[in-house]
Structure formats: C-alpha cells, structure tokens
Structure 1
C-alpha cells in the first residue's frame, strides 16, 4: 500500500482483520457469521471482550504498519547512502584512471575491481563498462615540447613518446581473466578449469564491448567464459591473442579485427554466431578442435600465416567466401555438418582437406588453388561444387567419397574447372553422377581403384578423360560397383 496515507492503510488492514476474524469463526463453528448468537447472560461480558480484542487487533495492526513503513524508509535511506558512497568511490577510481601516472591508474583499476566484488549487482556491469571504455580510448602517450604541449608532426599527427600504457593494460586483462575463468570441465581434455574467485565475483554474465580497442600487450583470456554477447569488431591485437578453450555462449563479433601476432582459438566453443568477416590474421590462426554451433563467418578474411582448422566442428553453415589463405590452409578432419562455402577463396600455398566430412553442400566455385589441393579421404555426402575452380598444381582426391553428384566441369557444378597439373582420384567413390566434360587444361588423371556406381552408368560424362576399350567404359584403373 506504498502510496496510501498511513490512516487509510491502517483502516484497510483493520477491516481486513475483522473480516478474517468473522470468517474464521464461521468456519470453526460451521455457522454463518450473521447467525452467530451470544448468550444473553454473558452478552455484556462478551461484547466487552470482542471490543477489546478488536481494539487491540487494530492497535497491533497500526503498530506493525508504522514499523513496516519506518523500516522501508530506513531501507531506502540506507540504499541512498550506499549509492552515494559507491558513486563517490567509482568517481574517485575514474579520476585515478585519468592520472598521468601509470601506478595511479593501476590503483584505479583495483579500486573499480573491489567495487564490483564488494557491491556486485549492477555495479559489476558498470565497472566492466568503465574498464572496456578505458581500453577503447586512445591510451598512447605523446612527446611534449619544452612548454609541456603535445608535439605535432608535419602531417598533423601527434608524435608518440616511448612511454606507454602496457602496465595498466596488463592489469585490466589480468583482472578480466581471473573473473571470466569459470569452473567447468574442458570438453576436449576432460580437465577441470580452475576458478580463482568466488561465484558471486565472476563477470561471465556481463556484456563486453571492446570494439576498435588496441591491445599493445599479449591478450591471455584462455578458458574464459562469455555468457553474453562480446564485441571485438575492429579491435587490434598487436601481439598474441590467446582464447584457447574459451566458451562463447552469446554472439561474438571479430569483424575487421587485426591479429598482428598469433591468434589462438584452439578448442574454443562458439555456441552463438562467430563473425570473423574481413578479419586480418598476420600470424598463424589456430582453430583446431574449435566448435562452431551456429554460423561461422570468415568471409573476406585474410590469413597471412597458416590457418589451422583441423578437427574443427561446424554445426551451422561455414562461410569462407572470398577468404584469402596466403599460408597453408589446414582443414584435415574438419566436420562440416551444414553447407560449407569457399566460393572465390584463394589458397596460395597448400589446401589440406584430407579426411574432412562435408555433410551438406561443399561450395568451391571460383576458388583458386595455387598450391596443392588435398581432398584425400574427404567425404562429400551432398553436392560438391567446384565450378570455375582453378587448380594450378596437383589436386588429390584419393580415397574421397562422393555420396551425391560430383560435377567436374561443363555441365553444372564444376563448369570450366581448370587443372594445370594432374588430378588423383585413386580410391575415390562416386555413388551418383559425375560430369568431367569441359575440363580445361591437359592434366593426367589417376583413377586407380576408383569406384563408380553401376546403376548410374549412363550418367557419367568423361570429356577429355581417355577411356580404354578394355575397361568397360571406365578410365584406366576404375571399376564399376553396385552401390
């Protein structure tokens, strides 16, 4: 009854108490309260007792209501005082972060951390927002002239001094790592992730916005747990970025991020969408054994070093359209449960898909393989699209398994594919139609122990592939099999 006057509240509670009293008597005596009769000999005495009981009850209700409102007012006053105290502490810590001394800024980081640990609730997200905002700010130190004014170069840019903010940055990253490492069992190793803080001090449920931040120090967030969305788009990692074993429950956004050092996501779990579109990986990019539950987006990504996706699991679509693999691309044993898109991708060195499992369509249309292309032992459960693909060096499909249509050039999916060197299909299985007509270039083909579906005998178009007269209409080394 928060907004009612005190007298009105007491009156309402008194009426409710009388009604409850009468209903209780009715229930106990099994007689409607309007038929209750008093003994004439004790009528006066009973009336007095009932009156005193009612008066006492109303008084007790009034007392309880008054004490309750006093308690509420005291609680509100206490909360206001607490908020003022915490706000003052937060402001003091923010002022410390604005100091020109690194030691004072570090003290400000620990002061904010203490506020989040002690007062919890909404202050935890507030502290995370402040620290993320600090990391997104321009934290470079600039060389002053004799008058203590910043120095500008001829192009109008501030001249940076050798002083930096690495110590403060390392402190913030250390605090975040400790409060993002939640106890859980690692899916790959079975080891328990050690938790260093209490459960009510974890920041896993907070939203982290670190877009366009620049990290000068190595980032170590191994085995971290992000239960909400995390934004890293446009972020620059000047040294190694280590997210091994990290668990992202919400969406994570690394669009346009720059990884100047190594990018380590081995064994990481992406339960939400993982967007690495147009990201630039200067060093090696390790996603071995990573799990992408929803979509994995690497469209237009540039891999200067080696890209490792060995044993990775893509439950949703895997988008690598237009990606540039300047180093080796290792997808050995990767599991593509949905469609895989590598249309227009460039593989400058080797492309290794040996043992990969393509459950959905595999799209390599217009892809360029400058180095060797290894698909040995790969399984294509649905259509394999290589239309317009260019193979400058060797293409190896030994022991590959094609459960559905595999079109090499001309007719549909592999229209105009160009093989500069030999193509090896030894041991591969074509269980549906395969069209090889229209292949460009004069490569040699190996079909040793390659199996073609006898039922689809009339569905194969060989094009430039020579068919010996003594091999029942198949290339040399191939055999018919009734699948």
Structure 2
C-alpha cells in the first residue's frame, strides 16, 4: 500500500506540472486542447494506479489464502498423526487414510507424510500377538496392511499423475512384514530400504506364510536395500519385475525356509547383491530371468539345504559371482546339501565364478544349458554331490575346472555337444565318476592337460571316466600329463574316433591298467 501511495503522490505532482505548463505558460496557444490532453494522461495514470492496487490486493489475498492452507494442512497433519496413535483400530485406519490424502494435497510436505506412514510400519509388531500381552492393539495387522496397500497404490500411478509417489524415499528399516502387495509399483530414483526388515510367516494370514509382492514392479535407477533382512518362511515375489540401472542389496540377509522369486525378471545394467547372505532351506528362483550387462553377487554366501534356480535364465554380458576372492578373510562359499540349477540357461557373453567355492553333497545342474561366448569358472571343491552338463551345448566360450578337487562327486557331460568352446578339466579326480557318454566333439577343446593354467597334474585316483558312445570329430581332447593311479578311463565304446584324444607317448606305448583305448580299427 505504501508503494501505491507513493506512486499517487508522484503522479499528482506530474499532473500539476503539466497543467501549469500547458495552461498557465504563455507558450501554450490552445489551452482547451492542453486541458483535454492533461485529463487523458491523468485518466491513464489513474488506471495504472488502480491496476497496481488490485494486483497488490490480490497478492495479499493469495498470501493470506496460502497461509490459511498451510495452517489447515498443519492441522490435518496433527489430527492424522494423533489418529495413528489411537487405541482403536478404526481410528488408526482413518488416520492412515487421512495422512495419505494429506500427502496427495500437500505436495511440499509429501515426503514427510510418507515418512510418518513408513515410521508406523517400523514400530514393534508381532504377526501372531498375544491378546493378553501388554500394549496389545486389536486390528493392528489390518492397519499395517492398509498402509502397505496405500503405498503400493500410489506407486502404481503414472509419474505424471499429480498424486504419484514415484521418485520418493521409503524407509522400512527393521520393519516386520507378514504380508503386503507392492506388485506393479514403480521405483524411479529415490531410495527404498528394507534394511534388517523381518519377513515372517503367520498361520493366521495364510498357511504359506508371509507374502510380499513386487511382481511386475519397475526399479529405474533406484536403490532397494534388503541388507540384513530376515526371511523365515513365506515369500517375497519379484516375478517379472524390471530393474534398469538399479541396485538391490540382500547382503547379510538370512533365509530360513523362505522363497524369494525373481523368475522372469529383467536386469539391465543393474546389480544384485547376496554378499554374505545365509540360506538354510528355502529357495531363490531366477528361472527365466534375463541379465544384460549387470551383476549378481553371491560372495561368501552360505547355502545349507537351500536351492538356487537359474533354469532357462539368459546371460548376455552379465557376471554371476559365487566367490569371495576379492575380499580379505575366508574365501569360501559353502553349498552344503544345496542345489544350484542352471538347466537350459543361455550364456552369451556373461561370466559365472565359483572359484574357491565348497560343494559338500551339493548339486549343480547345467543340463541343456547353452554356452556361446561365456566364461564359467568352477575351480571349486566338490565332496559328494554332482556337477551335471547333460546335453549342454558349448559353441564358444570357456568352462574351467582348473585346480578343482572332486572327491566322491559325479561329473556328467553325457550327451553334451562341443563345437568351438574350451572345457578345461585340469583338476583332481579322487574316487569320482565322470561321464562323457554320447558326448559329441566337433570342434573346440576338452583339456585334461595340466600345462595350460595351474601347472598341476590331473589325478584319476580310483576315478571312473566314461566316453561310451562319444563322437570325436574335429575337437581336441587332451590328456597329456594326466596321471592314472587306480582310476578308470574307458574310451573303448566311442562312436567315432576321427580325431582321437591326445596322450603322452609313453602312456600310449604302455597304457596303464585303468586306461582302456579303442581297438586300432575304431573310426
């Protein structure tokens, strides 16, 4: 208002000067015309002053309205927060809905409203509470599941929707989940933390335990933290989810009888950490998943009775680690009684490392897998259990067992086809059965020669290696430097001997008892 008054004084002064100059001054010939001009100027100035005054008044009104809105939002926030702390479940439910509605209306403080909802989920909670326990709240499960549902609904809205919560942070640290549906949610940017969260089954909810679903969710550039989380029964579903340049961290998570489902999920440029995770029962399912230019890291993970499934998965330029060689301390991954399934998986350019892993009575299955340009390192210790490449196809890339130790285990390449790949079996076979029956060697190399990598010998002490029905036509199978002491290597029943394996001249001249070669007429 002070500005308007000042402008009025200035304009009045200018008008007075104009009247004096145009009317009183002798130099002005037509006084009437001068007065008309002066009045026109004064009218224009008045209109300008009125516009300035109206604009100023509008700004003040808008400021008052904004202040009133802010006060109203603050009052709504206080009321919703008080409702969330009420003893009655119906009131707490009303508070959850009120806070979600406030987040939609109050964009400036939307993150704060979300933080309060997440904080509620982080409060102590028993999936199967004792009604007589101190602090027991009736209907608590329904309140928590409602909050999770509200969050999921807002994350499914398109990013351009004015009520979408995409791109914001969600902190579920140490929260307890006995169910929840976040399927189809989109996490684009922001940080989602499930650090040390507990996923616990509840017989009152579903006989299969807890179910938390991220099925078909999209993670674009987001960070999702499950580090230290505990999964005791129940399931966490990422079925057909999409991770693009995202980071998902399950390091130090504990899985006891739980199921984590990544089947048919797509990882493009993303990283998935299971570093130091513990698997005692349960499963992690990557069947049908597609990995392109990302990493899956199981460094120092411990598997005791668990199953890891990569059936029909596709690896194009990705790396899968089951080793801990890059860090100090223990460098072993323990697969006691576990199953790791890569059957029918496709490896085109990716890498898989099992270096220094320990398989005790475990099973690793590459049956029907296709290797074209990938690198698989199985320099591990196998005591019992099996490694199966039944009908696998090797058309490029490398599969290496350099320095591996097989004690009582089974190694199967039955029906495998080698056409361009290199399989290095510079390993120790002690009491092992290795089966190459019906394998076809038409290009590529199967190398039992110790000279290429580690400098060790290949020891077939008490082992049985069979090539019944195998076809050697163009490939190189190299036994130069192998040691046969009580072992059994049977090459008598090969189907084709067009390109026979290589042996040291002394071995061919005086074959040991365990080396059974085909008759000279075989071809």
On whether the aligned pair clears a TM of 0.5, the verdict is yes
1:259 is matched with which residue?
A: 231
Q: What RMSD over aligned residues (CA atoms) do the two structures have, in Å?
A: 3.7
1:136 is matched with which residue?
A: 122
Q: Is residue 2:435 matched to residue 1:435?
A: no
Identify the structure with the greater helix proportion.
1
2:322 is matched with which residue?
A: 342
1:302 Cα deviation after fit: 2.7
1:354 is matched with which residue?
A: 343
Contact 2:418 2:444 in 1 (8 A): no
Contact 2:411 2:435 in 1 (8 A): yes
- Give distance in 2, aligned partners of 1:131 and 1:392: 51
- Give distance in 2, aligned partners of 1:209 and 1:452: 56
- Give distance in 1, aligned partners of 2:286 and 2:444: 36
1:386 is matched with which residue?
A: 378
Contact 1:355 1:379 in 2 (8 A): yes
After TM superposition, the score normalised by the length of structure 2 is 0.70
Partner of residue 387 from structure 2, selected from 386, 395, 403: 395
- Give distance in 1, aligned partners of 2:399 and 2:170: 45
For structure 2, the residue ranges without an aligned partner over 5 or more in a row are: 13-26, 201-209, 324-331, 453-476, 503-515, 519-523
- Give distance in 1, aligned partners of 2:333 and 2:290: 20
- Give distance in 2, aligned partners of 1:61 and 1:467: 106
Q: Is residue 2:86 matched to residue 1:106?
A: no
2:243 is matched with which residue?
A: 270
- Give distance in 2, aligned partners of 1:114 and 1:477: 80
For structure 1, the residue ranges without an aligned partner over 5 or more in a row are: 15-39, 146-150, 152-158, 185-197, 410-414, 479-483
Partner of residue 275 from structure 2, selected from 299, 303, 308: 299
- Give distance in 2, aligned partners of 1:13 and 1:116: 49
Q: Per the alignment, in what secondary structure is the counterpart of residue 201 of structure 1? A: coil
- Give distance in 2, aligned partners of 1:13 and 1:210: 64
1:190 is matched with which residue?
A: none
- Give distance in 1, aligned partners of 2:308 and 2:315: 15
Identify the structure with the greater strand proportion.
2
CA 1:224–1:428 in structure 2 vs 1: closer, same or farther (change >3 Å)? same
Contact 2:215 2:240 in 1 (8 A): yes
- Give distance in 1, aligned partners of 2:163 and 2:284: 36
Partner of residue 333 from structure 1, selected from 309, 312, 320: 312
1:79 Cα deviation after fit: 0.7
Q: In the TM superposition, what are the counterparts of 1:400-415 in structure 2 within 5 Å? A: 400-401=393-394, 403-409=396-402, 415=403
1:163 Cα deviation after fit: 5.1
Partner of residue 155 from structure 2, selected from 171, 175, 180: 180
1:310 is matched with which residue?
A: 287
CA 1:467–1:376 in structure 2 vs 1: closer, same or farther (change >3 Å)? same
Q: In the TM superposition, what are the counterparts of 1:167-206 in structure 2 within 5 Å? A: 167-182=142-157, 199-206=161-168
2:364 is matched with which residue?
A: 373
> How many residue pairs align between the two structures?
419
- Give distance in 2, aligned partners of 1:383 and 1:10: 84
1:75 Cα deviation after fit: 0.5
107-116 or 76-85, which moves further after superposition?
107-116
After TM superposition, the score normalised by the length of structure 1 is 0.76
CA 1:143–1:341 in structure 2 vs 1: closer, same or farther (change >3 Å)? closer
1:477 Cα deviation after fit: 11
2:501 is matched with which residue?
A: 474
1:25 is matched with which residue?
A: none
- Give distance in 1, aligned partners of 2:498 and 2:10: 101
